[in-house]
A and B are shown apart, each in its own frame.
Chain A
Amino acid sequence: MKKQPEMQGRVKSISYAKWGYIFIIPFFIVYILFTLVPQFLTVYNSFFENYRIGLTQVGPNYVGLENYKALFTPQSDGTILILKYTANTFILWIIGAIPQFVIAMLLAVFFTSGRLNIKGQGFFKTVIYMPNLIMAAAFSMLIYTLFSKVGPIQLFLEHQGIIDKTFDFFAYRVSVRGMIAFMNFIMWFGNTTIVLMAGIMGIDQSLFESATIDGANAWQVFFKVTLPLLMPIFVYCFITAMIGGIQMFDVPQVLTKGDGLPNETTRTLVMYLNRYLSGASRNYGAAGAISVIIFIMTGVLGFVVYKMLAAQYQEKRSAPKYHRRRQRGENA
């Protein structure tokens, strides 16, 4: 113990900065080799005319912002397709994300609550995550058979006289969007629950104890201790869910057979992108432009959300952090 002051002096004098660089090097090498180059190609492509007619390549010819202009050219009735698909994407994401977050937060608190002391946690935790294990394409197949015109739900409702034979779940915006949101909810709420739960369990238990001793009730503990400390993880959940939402593809693609039924109201941005990318023309120019637009949109939103939420938790965190430090000091 005598040596401590001397050691501490040494610790301060040594610069550890180089270790920061060393630790992040593998990430960047791999990133540049496998991701940056293709991504750069994408942005580059967006300024070129570059597509195929059959097996004949047209371009690449530099066209400036033409690809972007084409995307924002209104139809004869005034709609701009890319804006329509953007709206679809957000609507689909939000109606699935609200129940996803509410339920996941509730479950995470239930599971970690010592007072509730839920039995069979292992079972419940396994089961709620299971839908995430099914491939989206296979899950869509299942939902499709359930709601198809000869599926059990249609037949049951027909039998009850609620709908007639001509009714079709896939002909209504509300029902198709509902199905997609439901699938996203079922597939992802378990995932979010686990992340939030791991976050709550990572919080120092003594904080909950001391809060309870101080006479805080369950609500107060949640809002004053759990939530502020969980904020970084919550921000992670929210932003990644949002990115996932903007990139929504498999579920609506398979469920509506790529068409975004009805009347393209469930067609998302990436479905739009996919038609250019793997469509017959391999129109890399248009695909590149849509990609760049999606990227800018995600980036702006991501940063706004991050800054907003991060600012909030950094304020709230200062108190508990101090509290924790003090406690650790006492233990030592």
Chain B
Amino acid sequence: MSENTKGRIKLLLLRIVVYAILIILSALCLFFFYLMVVNASRSNAELAKGFTLIPSGNFFTNLKNAWNDASINIPRGMLNSLIIALSTAVLTTYFSALTAYGVHVYDFKGKNLIFTFIMAIMMIPAQVSALGFVQLMNKFNLTNNYIPLIIPGIAAPVVFFYMKQYMESVLPLDVIDAARVDGSSEFRTFNTIVLPMLKPAIAVQMIFSFVSSWNNYFIPALLLDKAELKTVPIMIAQLRSADYSKFDMGKVYMFILLAILPVMITYIILSKSIIKGVTAGSVKG
């Protein structure tokens, strides 16, 4: 047997193993979505009866009930969540990249101290400042307002850390030197040359911050109580603690399913841009 054939057989075997792993993992992940869809297709009474893998016929009834719920305005909630999550994602990624760039590229006094400081604040559990934060926002009269839900995204130590690490592994300083030689201002260099190079990193962090903002319950629940400002997770909690005459688990599952859709669409769009960003980058290189 020639080296070539041997290699080919080895590659074939490897591919089989790889595909097997991928299929098993995907099946596992999809299983939970299947469960959600099945549950969203069952009536409250059917759900109370127990578990099944076979979808039932109440999917559209649940959809209609959830969408038309008199006291919980789902389309409005999704719009609210979209506004908050999208603004947070954009601000977080942009300013984290900017901050990371500032620390990565420039040499200035206290640079190491600042890096150490941001690393340290990253270690503080989020729950720790939650209640102090809410009290403070009460004092500033910022309850029932989206500012405390969006603006803090500008200072996201974890995203900063990622951007910094990413720059360390992919951003060559000589590109910046070259831009300076061409007379580009520092700010312009960042916006037009560096940002496009960071596309995959930005796409990744956009997804993550979008998802975590979209699913955030604790802080928004403590800050928002006007019906027209409520976000999706607050509405789900409200549905779940509804009184018996309105309690409908089928509706809850349907709402959870609906809540995932926008996140999934965002993800699919952005995951394409990860791939595109990388291919574009390599062509340039």
Contact = CB atoms under 8 A, between A and B. Distances in A.
Interface of A: 4, 7-8, 11, 16-24, 26-28, 30-31, 34-39, 41-42, 45, 103, 106-107, 110, 115-116, 118, 122-139, 142, 145-146, 150-152, 186, 189-191, 194-195, 198-199, 201-206, 229-233, 235-236, 239-240, 243, 246-247, 249, 270, 273-274, 277-278, 284, 287, 291, 294-295, 298-299, 302-303, 306, 324-325, 328, 331
B107 A34 contact: no
B71 interface: no
A236 B106 contact: no
Given A22-B102, A126-B271, A233 B166 contact: yes
Contact of B282 (A4, A150, A205): A205
26 contacts: A17-B108, A19-B187, A20-B102, A24-B102, A27-B95, A30-B155, A38-B135, A124-B26, A125-B271, A126-B267, A126-B268, A135-B256, A146-B35, A150-B51, A190-B29, A198-B204, A199-B166, A201-B274, A236-B165, A246-B125, A247-B126, A273-B125, A274-B127, A298-B125, A306-B119, A325-B172
Contacts, number: 273
Nearest to A120: B22
A324 B122 contact: no
Contacts of A298: 123-125
B260 A134 contact: yes
Contacts of A203: 169-170
Contacts of A110: 18, 21-22
Contacts of B36: 134, 138, 142
B30 interface: yes
Contacts of B193: none
B122 A186 contact: no
Interface string B165-178: 11011101010010
Contact of A116 (B18, B111, B170): B18
Contacts of A201: 200, 274, 278
B26 A302 contact: no
